[in-house]
Structure 1
């Protein structure tokens, strides 16, 4: 699986929006396959999150390298704003998990859902960056 992920991330080097969607769809499919095994779902969610985080970092870095200094500065400011929103959203998710964990027996399920939501947030940013790259 790691080799396949590495290959997908390498392909991202010149990814268009359509190519980014193919890569994301492949990661989504692998994640769903992992979840369908009904064991280690939290590990599946963590791996999916790490894959999205890696894909996001590569997408951002690639886009930055393609821009002139004004474009790069604009993207960096936009990314800082996005990072602040991400931090606030992730803190909200973590607070909900902490609250739910105290009232439910399956706190790990809550962590799976939270990690899945975090990965989805990163996934959306990858798509936003791919759209910016297309312009």
Structure 2
């Protein structure tokens, strides 16, 4: 009975944390869209959004590691390692594509903004997955 109560308490705390993080993610998305809507410094908007998503992702991972059982921690660590490899591969492809585009376009910051936005979307997808664990 005691274990059941402890399990329920951990579950409820994790659920509340997940909802809080989802709200933070929604707020970041809203701010990003507002920034882009101003049509100025769009690259800076994308960089700020990317950095905030990366921070939120790292914070969420730290919380998950501290709240999971050792077995589940190992599983998450393995999943995260595989995701990191995919991320590196995806980001490398994006960077290569942007490098090729820079040679053909005068507005390099537009290409960089789109690249950063794509990278942020990759992080956001992982964050959404983690919030549903």
TM-score, structure 2 normalization: 0.85
Query: Equivalent residues in 2 for 1:23-62 (5 A)?
Result: 23-62=24-63
Structure 2 unpaired stretches of 5+: 1-13
Q: Secondary structure at the match of 1:15?
A: helix
Deviates further, 88-97 or 33-42: 33-42
Structure 1 unpaired stretches of 5+: 1-11
> How far apart are 1:35 and its partner, in Å?
1.2
Larger Rg: 2
Q: Secondary structure at the match of 1:103?
A: coil
C-alpha RMSD of the superposition: 1.7
Give 2:95's aligned residue: 94
**Does structure 2 retain, via aligned residues, the 8 Å contact 1:13–1:62?**
no
1:15 to 14, 17, 20: 17
Give 1:7's aligned residue: none
TM-score, structure 1 normalization: 0.83
